[in-house]
Structure 1
């Protein structure tokens, strides 16, 4: 009788790598040997076509930045204005960053991590925070992302932090580790609760309010996940330098050739999706 393969330390915290869908097609996954101070999930490109990747990521960019109601309003404007007039009207009103390369890089990392963890852990994003950014050309303050077990809010929380560097950097890794110290608790729960209340989900908003107390009394565990997006050899920086006292921290790395171009192409395609 075959023995059941044991879960890695990484899988115990954030779930197994997806066995189907975009992330299965896109990433080869390796959970490198874990230690008391290093839990690293290394993702590398299997060779997915750039066109397929851009198509999926651009759809996620729109999903995370724009509500369905906002998209419906944009569609109504398209019906009222001719093509030239619509383009003029939309200048400066596009609901995601189209000018700030720095913001694009940060936002896409958050989006990839959010979608990945949703697949691997089964937890959910209750509020798409980028939809509420008052200045789309700047990064939002607060936690990069929070995921919850919707059926039992008090059971577990995942807190994520994303960093992009065109050239790998130990400093960026150190920044992630510092932000995701187990001494740091989520700071955006009130924001999440307020948005849920605005959406009419008062009961869920109340549960998130209760979660604040549980986190401070250590009744609800927090899983910490850092996403390090950089060049192809980025994983070497993680393997060499990751040293955290937080036993509930996993660093997920993804390296690729010319990551700047992928980000630029994805946001360009997302803009076309809204404008066409």
Structure 2
């Protein structure tokens, strides 16, 4: 008798929900029944300690917005300057949004989705795009998220889009579905290739250049993942309104009470970690 659990269609595309670690502690996961036009993974808060969650998210905010070398430089400056002097020095140099709540909300969604899919799928971010934002107070253009199988770049790509709404809306869902139509190919691959070349990884940059050709020739499959972060009942909007003919699309929803506060607290803690 085969007792092996049958994978859901969602798990076939993005991997199973973690069985341990932060995402296991944070999220209750339900892969809802699929239809011809709906694949939805519903995440809800299990009741994780808010301070623990904010601590993790603040570290991810720093990780995605700044290289280790940049953080080391800031730490060195902090030791040289007194607190007041460092505060003056850091003005305009914090590598993540400190004023724009809109950008904070968008960026944190991208970060949560990236970390979640990295764990569930085993694919990797080759370039942390938020580190290259010329204006941290504004959202970057291009794909929200691209993940690759580093050992075999041509094998598979995950393309992600994140949306935050304090109050759930069908339009936000429709915008995700439109962005992740199977007619749409990643538009940031040249950006990824250029950054890899700058980092000295010319072989990987060449692989990304070859991937561009393979995607246009439909030789490499793309998994499309939308992340919808909103109020606790957000999943109802997905269940009622998700309608996509893209068979490789999964919408991951995460609903919670007062989601805006989590974002504000996480960015405030990230700033505190840089300043203190």
TM-score (structure 1 length as normaliser): 0.99
In the other structure, the counterpart of 2:164 is 164
Misfit runs of 4+, over 3 Å:
none
Residues paired across the two proteins, number: 276
Give per-residue Cα distances to partners, 1:70-89, cap 9 Å, x unaligned. 10110111121111100111
- Give the deviation of 1:2 after TM superposition: 5.0
- In structure 1, distance between residues paired with 2:228 and 2:158: 16
In the other structure, the counterpart of 2:173 is 173
Once the two structures are superposed, the pairs formed by residues 5-20 of structure 1 within 5 Å of their partners are 5-20=5-20
Once the two structures are superposed, the pairs formed by residues 255-266 of structure 1 within 5 Å of their partners are 255-266=255-266
- 1:219 is paired with a residue whose SS is coil
Give per-residue Cα distances to partners, 1:95-118, cap 9 Å, x unaligned. 110000000000000000000000
Structure 2 residues not aligned, in runs of 5+:
none
In the other structure, the counterpart of 1:144 is 144
Once the two structures are superposed, the pairs formed by residues 79-90 of structure 1 within 5 Å of their partners are 79-90=79-90
- In structure 2, distance between residues paired with 1:185 and 1:124: 18
In the other structure, the counterpart of 2:65 is 65
- In structure 2, distance between residues paired with 1:200 and 1:76: 26
Tell whether 2:214 aligns with 1:214. yes
- In structure 2, distance between residues paired with 1:166 and 1:182: 28
Cα RMSD (Å): 0.6
- Give the deviation of 1:36 after TM superposition: 1.4
TM-score (structure 2 length as normaliser): 0.99
In the other structure, the counterpart of 1:203 is 203
- 1:77 is paired with a residue whose SS is helix
In the other structure, the counterpart of 1:75 is 75
- 1:84 is paired with a residue whose SS is helix
Give per-residue Cα distances to partners, 1:205-227, cap 9 Å, x unaligned. 00000000000000000000000
- In structure 2, distance between residues paired with 1:7 and 1:24: 18
Once the two structures are superposed, the pairs formed by residues 94-173 of structure 1 within 5 Å of their partners are 94-173=94-173
- 2:73 is paired with a residue whose SS is helix
